[in-house]
Amino acid sequence: MKELTRPERLAPGARVAVVATSGPVPEERLQAGLDVLRGWDLDPVAAPHVLDRHAEFGYLAGTDADRAADLQNAWCDPSVDAVLCARGGYGAQRMIDLLDWEAMRAAGPKVFAGFSDTTVLHEAFATRLGLATLYGPMAAGIDFIKNARAQDHLRATLLAPETVRTIASGGTALVPGRARGITLGGCLALLAAERGAPHARPSAAGGLLCLEDVGERTYRLDRYLTQLLRAGWLEGVRGVLLGSWEDCSDHAGIRPLLADRLGGLGVPVVEEFGFGHCAGALTIPFGVAAELDADTVTLTLDEPALR
């Protein structure tokens, strides 16, 4: 696994496009998120279909074609410096193959940020564009709007990435040790769903794998992890960082499962690392070289997330 191209950091006045790639976006939360970005001296612009709702499937923010067009047009607009997802939910899988990846590659690197359902987009940006991305709070998310830690860490990552090269969460070591690799990952259910999809990453070998999820029963988490193990996708992984399991079964029940499914990999594993669907979620760069120290529960990037 190779380190990916890091986009340039944002500067005051940078234009940031906010797009809805998945579920419908509440207007009041979108406006609050845009206000936060303006408070950072950025120039946010909402994509044309960001407030759309699908006429038949209410869990989608407009049609697949419109969501794809918003993302592609924002990415290919030379005046846009970064693309932030408005929220997760479901829908990115439905529109990802409608994107013109050649045109997006020609547009050059820029910042992409989001989490949850956008896991499939993080994977696609890595495999199709060779681009590092940011797995972190979204512009219309409650955590982004109301939580100072989530705001501050994303802001520092975007504007002063050298100040957050070491990410410390206060979690614990499930398996001790230190490891080096390239960061990747996201929402466990989406990573499992990618197996067999076109252009899917063939393996997590050489990676520091970040995993989290929301609203899943323990047996379903077991199913996803077992699928990745049976597919050989986890062979050669260097280390594992476990984020939040919000609205899943209680952690006392999940912890033995994580130890059972991941302990046999023979690599350092840290838990409760503070990213994903939790209050004050940290921003984790994907596609960058880093060192995981499970004993101090820190992730140290070789270089800042953005140039």
pLDDT of the chain, 307 residues: tens digit per residue:
899 999 999 999 999 999 999 999 999 999 999 999 999 999 999 999 999 999 999 999 999 999 999 999 999 999 999 999 999 999 999 999 999 999 999 999 999 999 999 999 999 999 999 999 999 999 999 999 999 999 999 999 999 999 999 999 889 999 999 999 999 999 999 999 999 999 999 999 999 999 999 999 999 999 999 999 999 999 999 999 999 999 997 777 899 999 999 999 999 999 999 999 999 999 999 999 999 999 999 999 999 999 9
What is the reported pTM? 0.97
The pLDDT of residue 289 is 98
Residue 69 pLDDT = 98
Of 41, 110, 44, 121, residue with least CA distance to 81: 110
Burial 3-39 (b: 16+ CB within 10 A, else e): bbebbebbeeebbbbbbbbbbbbeeebbebbbebbee
Q: Could you give the residue numbers annotated as active site? A: 116, 212, 277
| Spatial CB neighbours of 107, under 8 Å, sequence gap ≥ 6 | 75, 76, 78
Residue 127: phi and psi, rounded to 5, are -80, -30
H-only helix segments in 142-250: 142-146, 148-159, 188-193, 218-230
DSSP label at residue 161: G
Mapping DSSP to helix (H, G, I), strand (E, B) and coil, where does residue 189 land? helix
Block residue for tokens 């696609």: 124
What's the rounded Cα separation, in Å, for the pair 307 and 269?
Answer: 28
| Both structure tokens of 96 | 């990802």
Q: Which two tokens stand for residue 148?
A: 């100072």
pLDDT at 128: 97
131: buried, middle or exposed (CB in 10 Å: 19+, 13-18, 0-12)?
Answer: buried
Instruction: State whether residue 166 is helix, strand or coil.
Output: strand
